[in-house]
């Protein structure tokens, strides 16, 4: 795959960045912004057009998420497993799944605290 913008793309890098900022202000996460750009505007990977990823564009515009998107997805998954286990106490397979998800959350939180994207006192409690 070439890292140059395709010749058929009719948008300039400035227009793509404006689309990203507009979609971010509407409350869309970076992954959804990428899908919307691809499906509605016909924009391939933004990194090849602008030289920056969707997340980097959002950060420069001050539209970052409070909690990173991948960590939010893990927190939702843990929440769903906890609700399931509240109803099905003997489900040992899902108990193990919850332990594994909690471990992933703690590791990812440690990484984001080190990068400064989460506060130092942020802690996961189930």
Do 93 and 80 form a contact (C-beta atoms < 8 A)? Answer: no
pLDDT of the residue at 6: 76
3-class secondary-structure state, position 28:
coil
61-120 pLDDT, tens digit each: 887 778 899 999 999 999 999 999 999 999 999 999 999 999 999 999 999 999 998 999
Backbone dihedral angles phi then psi of residue 20, each to the nearest 5 degrees: -60, -45
Mean pLDDT of the chain: 90
pLDDT of the residue at 65: 77
Domain 69-115 has CATH 1.10.287.10: yes
Percent of the chain surpassing pLDDT 90:
55
pLDDT of the residue at 2: 63
The set of residues, in sequence order, having a beta carbon less than 8 Å from that of 26 and lying 6+ positions away, is none
pLDDT of the residue at 93: 95
Helices (H) and strands (E) in the chain, counts: 6, 0
pTM of the model: 0.76
């Amino acid at each position: 795959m070439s890292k140059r913008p395709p010749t058929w793309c009719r948008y300039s890098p400035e227009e793509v960045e404006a689309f990203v900022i507009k979609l971010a202000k509407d409350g869309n996460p970076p992954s959804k912004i990428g899908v919307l750009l691809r499906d509605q505007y016909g924009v391939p990977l933004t990194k090849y057009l602008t030289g920056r990823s969707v997340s980097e564009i959002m950060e420069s515009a001050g539209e970052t998420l409070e909690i990173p998107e991948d960590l939010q997805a893990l927190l939702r998954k843990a929440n769903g497993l906890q609700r399931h286990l509240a109803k099905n106490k003997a489900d040992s397979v899902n108990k193990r799944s919850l332990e594994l998800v909690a471990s992933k959350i703690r590791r990812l939180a440690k990484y984001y605290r080190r990068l400064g994207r989460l506060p130092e006192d942020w802690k996961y409690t189930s």
